[in-house]
Amino acid sequence: MGNRTLAILKPDCVRKNLIGEVITKITEAGFKIKAMKMTRLSRAAAEGFYEVHKEREFFNSLVDFMTSGPCVPIALEKENAVADFRKLIGSTDPSEAAEGTIRKLFAESKQFNIVHGSDSDENAAIEIAHFFPRKELLENYND
């Protein structure tokens, strides 16, 4: 078994009808989908999820964005999942993202950047638990 990361297809990804294309990129890169749902974050959930950024000037607009419509959290598994997924999505700012990355291909700005990826194994475990109850994960991981 590889390790895990949490992806979120953000509300801009859903609005632009890019769920299918982005998931194709993710699975073609060798990630296995272990759990997935579509959900709309409450303000409290979005504030909690991005708590590390609460002092930043963009915090309120980030929370507005993340609560603006449904998103698609996905628990992914692969060897070296956290680093490989961040490589696949590219830099936070799409203008700085490498060619071929998901953000370079689809994102329009540093805020509206299509997809989230966990930044450490520790945060991946916390973030996956945030969206997927233990029972659901155990059932899905049972392969």
Interacting residues with ligand ATP (CB under 6 A): 58, 62, 92, 110-111, 113, 116-117, 119
Tracing tokens 């909690």 back to the chain, one arrives at 48
**Which residue among the candidates 116, 117, 118, 132 is catalytic per the annotation?**
116
Choose from Mg ion, ligand ATP, none: what does 62 bind? Cβ within 5-8 Å by kind: ligand ATP
| Choices 58-66, 69-77, 111-119, 129-137 (CB under 5 A): range interacting with Mg ion | 111-119
Which contiguous run of DSSP H or E holds residue 140? helix 134-141
Q: What CA–CA distance (Å, rounded) separates 34 from 30?
A: 13
Is 116 an active-site residue?
A: yes
Q: What CA–CA distance (Å, rounded) separates 39 from 70?
A: 5
Q: What is the binding site for Mg ion (CB under 5 A)? A: 119
